[in-house]
Amino acid sequence: MFADSLAASPDLFARVLPKVFLDKHLALDPPLRPSLRPPLAFRDCKINTDAIPNTVGSAVVRMGDAVAICGITAFVHDAPSSSSSSSPPTLYTNIDLVGRGSSPPLPEYMALSHSIFEAAAAARLYDPAQLRINDFQTLVLQAQIQLLSPTCQADVAWAALVSALRSTLLPTILPSDDTDINNNDSDPLFSSTQTTPLLLSPSYTSSLPWCINFGLARDNLILADIDGRVEDLSIDSRLTLILSATTDDDSLISVSLSSGSNAFTKQIVKQCVDLARSRAAQLDRILLSQI
């Protein structure tokens, strides 16, 4: 009776036995995933920039059913003198699910936010010198990323961040006696008309770094772009790359590998890197069409 219920309701089957449900799909000839994508197919992606008011940069990214909304704001912060050897961060990230109100972020989103913060610092997305106002003040960027899906979020969150940075316009700080200001007693004096584009690092002029993930299923079958609850719960062997489409030595920013029931071989990793570079070039074209 229970087996008949599962057979009659694919949604129930996927919820109760997600790994068995995935294996049933991958055993087809040719194999298909629950989303009906072939194993090496990536999700459709749409990117809209300048989508949120009252921000210096913003982007909405949709990959399949996963959506991330990133809004970047700027504020003035005291900074060490330009001759100081210390360089505090000029970009902070905060990630949470849409609709949670003022509740504290859940631990998994705090961990995701920290990992993206560290990856952004390692990638050196831009020269922080262009944010400096004077010897003792600098602009600091705050990226607020809201997720509409609780699963498979790192790649779409990263895509929203780099897309928003690519469209960021830095405000000009004006003297207090200037009349062309949005004046607020507690806010810095930002120009309402004078802005400067945030210049990304020269290595990202032609191609941005993107976060791209892979999973390894039964019989070492590579699944590109893990998506949905079934794959998220069933695939424990994963490879996450942050890289650009170029083949320069510094184009590979980050590699995260977790081998569960299946192990990534050198040959499989190389194949994933090649697939990831092709995907990065595709995402570059999508973003370029929106700017």
Among 52-56, 182-186, 204-208, 235-239, the range scoring the smallest mean pLDDT is 182-186
Q: Which of 219, 261, 270 is nearest to 238 (CA)?
A: 261
pTM: 0.88
Confidence of residue 2 (pLDDT cuts 50, 70, 90): very low
Confidence of residue 172 (pLDDT cuts 50, 70, 90): confident
Mean pLDDT across the chain: 85
Q: Domain 45-204 classified CATH 3.30.230.70? A: yes
The pLDDT of residue 183? 44
Confidence of residue 81 (pLDDT cuts 50, 70, 90): low
In this model, does residue 79 exceed pLDDT 90? Answer: no
Q: Which of 112, 122, 195 is nearest to 152 (CA)?
A: 112
Number of neighbouring beta carbons within 10 Å of residue 111: 12
Tokens of 92: 């902070």
How far CA 2 is from CA of 6, 8, 17, 229, 273, in Å, comes to 6, 10, 12, 22, 43
List the chain domain ranges. 1-32, 45-204
Query: What does the pLDDT look like over 247-288, one tens digit per residue?
Result: 887 789 999 998 877 889 999 999 999 999 999 999 999 999
Strands (E), 217-283: 222-224, 238-243, 252-258
In this model, does residue 87 exceed pLDDT 80? Answer: no
Confidence of residue 85 (pLDDT cuts 50, 70, 90): low
Greater confidence (203 vs 274) lies with 274
The pLDDT of residue 147? 93
What would the DSSP string read from start to end of 152-187?
S-HHHHHHHHHHHHHT-EEEEE--TT-SSEE--TTS
Among 3-12, 19-28, 38-47, 188-197, the range scoring the smallest mean pLDDT is 3-12
Confidence of residue 7 (pLDDT cuts 50, 70, 90): low
Number of neighbouring beta carbons within 10 Å of residue 202: 8
